[in-house]
Amino acid sequence: MIEIWAVGGYSEVGSKNMTAIKVDDEVIILDMGYNVSKIVEYEGKEGEEIVKLPYEKMLEMDAIPNDSLFHEEWGDKVKAIVIGHAHIDHCGAVRLLAPRYKKAPVIATPFTIEVIRNLLEGKKIPNKLIPLNPSSKYKISDKITIEMVNMTHSTLQTVAVVIHTPYGAIVYSNDFKLDNHPILGKKPDYRRLQEISKRGILVQISDTTRIENFGHTPSETIAREMLKDVLLRYINRDNGIVVTTFSSHIARLSSLINIARQMGRVPVLVGRSISNYISAAKRAHIFSTNAKVIGFKKQMHKFLRKVQKDKGKYLVIATGNQGEPDSVLSRMAKDEFPFKFEQDDVVIFSCTVIPTPISEANRNILEKRLLEKNVRIFRDVHVSGHAAREDQKDFLNLLKPKHYVPTHGGMDKLAIAADISQTLGYELNKTVHILQDGKRLVID
Ligand SMILES: [Zn+2]
C-alpha cells in the first residue's frame, strides 16, 4: 500500500517543501525546505544569519516543516531522504531535519549535494550524503529504487525523482519547467519519462507555482535575448551597470558573463550567496568560469572602489534581486560601499518579485532609493523557472499518472491544477487530490 504524508509545501508557494511516501512499511522523504519568506524576514530584522538558529527556534518561527507528528509516527521507517533540486525551499532544512532521521542517507544530484554542504557551513550531520547523477538509479530496498530523471528549472541538475515500487512508479517533479533549449544542461528527459509512463505511473506530485499563467513558459534562451536587448544598448558607454538575479540561477549568471564580454566590459560577480553557488557548481563539475567572483566583504569594498573610478569598464552582477536589506545591491544603494549611484547608471532586475509582503516591501525600499539617485531601472528582464498552464497539461499527458497530487501552491493554485486535470479526465478526490500541510492520503 502507498500512503502520502504532505508534511509541508502544500499551503503556500516557496515554503517548507517536504513530502513523505510510505511503501508498505518503508518511508522515503522528498525534500526538506525552508520557508523562504520567514528566513528573509528574520535575516533582515536581526541582521543575523539563520544558520545559527537551532531546530526548536526555527520550528517556532514556522521557518521549517513541522515534522513532529510525522517523526513520531513514521520516523523509524524512513529509509532515505531525496532532494530534487538546490533551491532552499527544497533543501534548506536538511541541516536541521535530516539528523532526526539519522540512519537515512541524503540523496541528491551532485550540485544539490554541494549546495547542501555549503548550507551545513562545516557542521557535520550523521546522515550519509550520496550524490546521484541525473539518469541514474539507487536501490534502497527490495521494494524501492530511486531514479533521477533530468528536468529543467531555474537552477542546475534539477530532477524528477522517480520512486519505483511494486505498485507502480511515483514521480515527484517539484519544481519543473519544460525548457527544450536550456542554456546549461540538457532538456527534460522526455524519452525516459515516456518509458516509465508506459510501465505505469501510480502518482505524480508536481509544482503549480505558475499554473495561473496561460500558455508555455519561455525557454531560458529567451531570458538571454531579453538581457541582450537591454544591455547591448549600453555598448561604448561609461555609466555604471549593475544586474541582479537569483544567486542559484547559474545559467542566467553564465549568460550575463558572456553578454558583459560582448559589451567589452569585465564581468564581476559580487555577493556571498553567488560565490557559494558558483563554488558548488564548480565542485560538482557542471560549471566553471574565469570571471572574478567576490564573496568577502573586504574584497567587495576594494573592488567597488575600483568600479567607482572606472564605471564603464565593468558589469557588476550582484546579489539583492528581492531587495534583501543585507544584499550587495541594497548596500550599494545605501552608500555603504565606496560606490555612488548617479544619474544614468543602470540597474537591471533579472527576476520577478516573489509575491510575499516582505519581498515586495524590500524591493520597494530599494527601488525608491535608486530612483532618488535618478538610476535607470529595468524590471522583470526574466523568464520563469516554472511550468505554465499548457506545460502542465503536456506534462500530465506525457506521464499519464493514475493519481495526480499538485503541490507548491496555496489553495488558489492547487484548485487551478485540479480544474485543468479534470479537463483531462481526472476526478476530484478520486484521481486528483488536493492536500494541505499535515494531511495524509492513502492510494489504493
Ligand atoms: Zn525551485
**For residues 405, 210, 213 and 162, what is the CA-based torsion angle, rounded to 10 degrees?**
-50
How close is the Cα of 86 to the center of ligand 1, in Å? 7
How close is the Cα of 248 to the center of ligand 1, in Å? 9
The pLDDT value recorded for residue 354 is 85
Q: Maximum CA pair distance of the chain?
A: 68
How close is the Cα of 385 to the center of ligand 1, in Å? 7
185 vs 355: CA distance, rounded Å = 28
How close is the Cα of 18 to the center of ligand 1, in Å? 13
Do 353 and 405 share a domain, yes or no? no
Chosen domain end from 378, 407, 426: 378
How close is the Cα of 320 to the center of ligand 1, in Å? 18
How close is the Cα of 383 to the center of ligand 1, in Å? 14
How close is the Cα of 32 to the center of ligand 1, in Å? 12
How close is the Cα of 153 to the center of ligand 1, in Å? 7
How close is the Cα of 342 to the center of ligand 1, in Å? 35
The β-bridge partners of 253 are none
How close is the Cα of 19 to the center of ligand 1, in Å? 15
Do 374 and 389 share a domain, yes or no? no
How close is the Cα of 174 to the center of ligand 1, in Å? 7
How close is the Cα of 333 to the center of ligand 1, in Å? 28
CATH classification of the domain holding 275? 3.40.50.10710
Do 189 and 234 share a domain, yes or no? no
| CB contact at 8 A, 263 and 314 | no
How close is the Cα of 353 to the center of ligand 1, in Å? 15
The pLDDT value recorded for residue 419 is 97
Do 367 and 436 share a domain, yes or no? no
| CB contact at 8 A, 205 and 189 | no
Those residues whose C-beta lies under 8 Å from the C-beta of residue 249, and which sit 6 or more positions away, are 154, 155, 385
Of 92, 85, 33, whose CA–CA distance to 437 is shortest? 33
Do 158 and 193 share a domain, yes or no? yes
346 vs 150: CA distance, rounded Å = 37
The amino acid at residue 426 is: Y
How close is the Cα of 143 to the center of ligand 1, in Å? 29
How close is the Cα of 124 to the center of ligand 1, in Å? 25
How close is the Cα of 141 to the center of ligand 1, in Å? 28
How close is the Cα of 301 to the center of ligand 1, in Å? 32
The pLDDT value recorded for residue 52 is 78
Chosen domain end from 321, 352, 378: 378
Those residues whose C-beta lies under 8 Å from the C-beta of residue 219, and which sit 6 or more positions away, are 179, 180, 181, 182, 383
Do 100 and 156 share a domain, yes or no? yes
Low-confidence spans in the chain with pLDDT less than 50: none
| CB contact at 8 A, 318 and 270 | yes
* pTM for the model: 0.96
C-alpha distances (whole Å) from 402 to each of 277, 389, 408 are 37, 20, 20
Cell numbers linked to 96: 536541521
Cell numbers linked to 235: 555598448
How close is the Cα of 314 to the center of ligand 1, in Å? 30
The pLDDT value recorded for residue 45 is 77
CATH classification of the domain holding 135? 3.60.15.10
How close is the Cα of 87 to the center of ligand 1, in Å? 5
Note down the domain range covering 371: 220-378
The pLDDT value recorded for residue 365 is 97
Chosen domain end from 361, 378, 395: 378
Query: Given CA atoms 229, 233, 237, 238 in this order, what sign does their dihedral have?
Result: negative
Sole residue written with cell 499518472: 401
How close is the Cα of 354 to the center of ligand 1, in Å? 12
Do 100 and 69 share a domain, yes or no? yes
How close is the Cα of 85 to the center of ligand 1, in Å? 7
205 vs 37: CA distance, rounded Å = 23
Do 38 and 6 share a domain, yes or no? yes
Do 180 and 64 share a domain, yes or no? yes
What are φ and ψ of residue 28, in 5° steps?
Answer: -115, 130
How close is the Cα of 179 to the center of ligand 1, in Å? 14
Do 414 and 284 share a domain, yes or no? no
Number of folded domains in the chain? 2
Do 392 and 334 share a domain, yes or no? no
The β-bridge partners of 20 are 5, 29
Do 411 and 332 share a domain, yes or no? no
